[in-house]
Amino acid sequence: MDRVRVLAGHLGVSNHQGPLDEASGAQLQREATLATTNYEGFPYAQTMANFPPAVHDVFLFDELLSPEEKDIRYRTRAFMEKEIAPIIANYWERAAFPFEVVPNLAKLNLGGANLAGYGCPGQSVIGAAMAVVEIARVDASMSTFLMVHNSLCMLTLGLLGSEEQKRELLPDMAALKLIGAWGLTEPSNGSDAAALQTTARKVNGGWVLNGQKRWIGNATFADVIVIWARSSETKQVNAFVVRKGARGLRTSKIENKIALRVVQNADIFLDDCFVADSARLPGVTSFKDTNKVLAISRIMVAWQPVGIACGVFDMCKRYVDERVQFGAALGSFQLVQEKLARMLANVQAMFLMCWRLSKLYEEGKMTHELASTTKAWTTLRGREVVSLGRELLGGNGVVSDFLVAKAFGDMEAIYTYEGTYEVNVLVAGRGITGKAAFKAAPARKQPTSVQA
Ligand SMILES: Cc1cc2nc3c(=O)[nH]c(=O)nc-3n(C[C@H](O)[C@H](O)[C@H](O)COP(=O)(O)OP(=O)(O)OC[C@H]3O[C@@H](n4cnc5c(N)ncnc54)[C@H](O)[C@@H]3O)c2cc1C
* CATH 1.25.10.10 is held by the domain 289-433: no
- Work out which ligand 1 atom sits closest to the CA atom of 265: 3
pLDDT of residue 325: 98
Residue whose CA is at the smallest distance from ligand 1 atom 4 = 215
- Cα separation, 196 vs 287, in Å, equals 9
Q: Please state the φ and ψ torsions of residue 191, each to the nearest 5 degrees.
A: -60, -35
Residue 64 confidence (pLDDT) above 80: yes
With a 6 Å cutoff on the Cβ, whether 216 touches ligand 1 is yes
With a 6 Å cutoff on the Cβ, whether 357 touches ligand 1 is no
pLDDT of residue 441: 86
Residue 117 confidence (pLDDT) above 50: yes
Nearest 10 degrees: Cα torsion 31, 33, 38, 43: -20
Pick the CATH number of 180-286 from 3.40.50.620, 3.40.50.300, 2.60.120.430, 2.40.110.10: 2.40.110.10
- Cα separation, 351 vs 116, in Å, equals 25
With a 6 Å cutoff on the Cβ, whether 415 touches ligand 1 is no
Please give the distance, rounded to the nearest whole angstrom, from the Cα atom of residue 263 to the centre of ligand 1.
16
Question: What residues pair up with 228 in beta bridges, in sequence order?
Answer: 239
With a 6 Å cutoff on the Cβ, whether 79 touches ligand 1 is no
pLDDT of residue 24: 53
With a 6 Å cutoff on the Cβ, whether 124 touches ligand 1 is no
Please give the distance, rounded to the nearest whole angstrom, from the Cα atom of residue 280 to the centre of ligand 1.
26
Please give the distance, rounded to the nearest whole angstrom, from the Cα atom of residue 395 to the centre of ligand 1.
31
Nearest Cα to Cα of residue 216 among 421, 417, 424: 417
Please give the distance, rounded to the nearest whole angstrom, from the Cα atom of residue 421 to the centre of ligand 1.
9
pLDDT of residue 450: 66
With a 6 Å cutoff on the Cβ, whether 217 touches ligand 1 is yes
Residue 12 confidence (pLDDT) above 90: no
The percentage of residues in the chain with a pLDDT greater than 70, rounded to a whole number, is 91
Best probe residue, ligand 1, of 151, 227, 423, 435 (max atoms within 8 Å of C-beta): 423
Please give the distance, rounded to the nearest whole angstrom, from the Cα atom of residue 189 to the centre of ligand 1.
8
Read off the pLDDT of residues 169-195 as tens digits, 9 standing for 90 and up. 999 999 999 999 999 999 999 999 999
Please give the distance, rounded to the nearest whole angstrom, from the Cα atom of residue 146 to the centre of ligand 1.
20
pLDDT of residue 231: 98
What is the band of 314 on the pLDDT scale with cuts at 50, 70, 90? very high
The mean per-residue pLDDT over the stretch 33-45 comes to 73
- Work out which ligand 1 atom sits closest to the CA atom of 228: 11
Please give the distance, rounded to the nearest whole angstrom, from the Cα atom of residue 333 to the centre of ligand 1.
40
- Cα separation, 128 vs 137, in Å, equals 14
Please give the distance, rounded to the nearest whole angstrom, from the Cα atom of residue 324 to the centre of ligand 1.
42
pLDDT of residue 34: 52
Residues 426/434, Cβ–Cβ less than 8 Å: no
Q: Mean of the per-residue pLDDT values for the chain?
A: 92
Q: Is the dihedral of CA 354, 358, 359, 361 positive or negative?
A: positive
Residue 38 confidence (pLDDT) above 90: no
Cα-based angle 119, 81, 338 (whole degrees, multiple of 5): 120
Residues 378/140, Cβ–Cβ less than 8 Å: no
- Cα separation, 353 vs 359, in Å, equals 10
The mean per-residue pLDDT over the stretch 332-349 comes to 98
The mean per-residue pLDDT over the stretch 243-251 comes to 98
- Cα separation, 126 vs 132, in Å, equals 10
Residues 142/135, Cβ–Cβ less than 8 Å: yes
- Work out which ligand 1 atom sits closest to the CA atom of 185: 11
Distant-in-sequence, close-in-space partners of 36: CB < 8 Å, separation ≥ 6: 46, 50
Report in angstroms the alpha-carbon separations of 39 from 1, 36, 44, 66: 14, 8, 9, 39
The mean per-residue pLDDT over the stretch 144-154 comes to 98
- Work out which ligand 1 atom sits closest to the CA atom of 189: 26
With a 6 Å cutoff on the Cβ, whether 219 touches ligand 1 is no
Domains 62-174 and 180-286 share a fold: no
- Work out which ligand 1 atom sits closest to the CA atom of 213: 11
Quote the crossing angle between the two packed helices 67-79 and 125-138, to the nearest 10°: 20
pLDDT of residue 294: 95
With a 6 Å cutoff on the Cβ, whether 195 touches ligand 1 is no
Nearest 10 degrees: Cα torsion 169, 171, 174, 176: -70
**What is the CATH number assigned to the segment(s) 62-174?**
1.10.540.10
What is the band of 443 on the pLDDT scale with cuts at 50, 70, 90? confident
- Cα separation, 95 vs 122, in Å, equals 32
With a 6 Å cutoff on the Cβ, whether 438 touches ligand 1 is yes
- Cα separation, 390 vs 312, in Å, equals 9
The mean per-residue pLDDT over the stretch 141-159 comes to 98
Residue 243 confidence (pLDDT) above 60: yes
pLDDT of residue 398: 98
- Cα separation, 272 vs 66, in Å, equals 49
Residues 277/205, Cβ–Cβ less than 8 Å: yes
Residue 1 confidence (pLDDT) above 80: no
Residue whose CA is at the smallest distance from ligand 1 atom 30 = 190
Pick from 36-50, 67-81, 281-295, 419-433: least confident: 36-50
Residue whose CA is at the smallest distance from ligand 1 atom 17 = 417
Pick from 25-29, 215-219, 412-416: least confident: 25-29
Domain boundaries, the chain: 62-174, 180-286, 289-433
- Work out which ligand 1 atom sits closest to the CA atom of 218: 8
Cα-based angle 72, 76, 82 (whole degrees, multiple of 5): 155
How many CA atoms are closer than 13 Å to the CA of 263, on its beta-carbon side?
29
First to last CA, the chain: 87
With a 6 Å cutoff on the Cβ, whether 148 touches ligand 1 is yes
Please give the distance, rounded to the nearest whole angstrom, from the Cα atom of residue 357 to the centre of ligand 1.
23
